[in-house]
Structure 1
Amino acid sequence: MKAESWIFGITTIFVAVVAPVYWLLAGDPTGTSALVMTALLFGMVTLYLGFHASRMDPRPEDRKEGEIADGAGELGFFPPYSWWPLWCALALGVIVYGTALAAWWLVIIGFVIGAIMVCGFIFEYYRGEHAH
């Protein structure tokens, strides 16, 4: 993770330098505040990655003497497919549509459907074809 922290650190410095230059040239408070917030968010990710990189064993790609074969093995669990994000997004769409129309009954229906869909999304791998 040291390489990632360096990439985010360089980007933080770049955006932190660009923000005041943008303020001086454009005088736009909206763009300047967006650049400042971007620099702060990149800085937060940099600190997180740097903190964890210093406390964990180096990965094969972080070591200078690391070989390709050192990274062999299981990389993690990758789900084959899922329909639940689609239904969760549709429930969110109902909530947003109800809010835009000020139809609070539609918002309540969207929250009820959304709660059911989020529960299905969370417990997707507890039953059925891909159960663990």
Structure 2
Amino acid sequence: MEHGSFTNDKDASFTLAEEDHTLANAVRFMLNQDPRVTLAGYSIPHPSLECVNVRVQTTGDPAREVLKDACQELMLMNRHVRSVFDKAVSEFKVEQARLAAEEEEKKKAEEEEIKKQRDLLASMDIESG
């Protein structure tokens, strides 16, 4: 919901329902990165209310458009973070599988060596000699 003036669209406040500091701080950060923004901040009216008020003042561009652009930039950033995270998880799983396979091979080699040693000891029958 937008709260603003009909005559001045460069200053506006927006209410984001069912949101908290998590989204509000990220939006505020993205807004403050935009050179068109002169002021960006947010407040939570009361801890029991699930809404955030975001205030945007710009150099002249409509505050609604600047907020929309900031949200789109935030979505792009989140997509990038997600793709980097997913890639890292995939690489980790591949590495874990490789390490598990190496460990299994090592274990099999040790078992074979123990079996060879047992067979050798069994062939050296001390009592029959």
Q: Report TM bin, short chain.
A: under 0.3
- Normalized per residue, the structure richer in strand is 2
- Normalized per residue, the structure richer in helix is 1
Give TM-score, length-normalised by structure 1.
0.26
Larger Rg: 2
Give TM-score, length-normalised by structure 2.
0.27
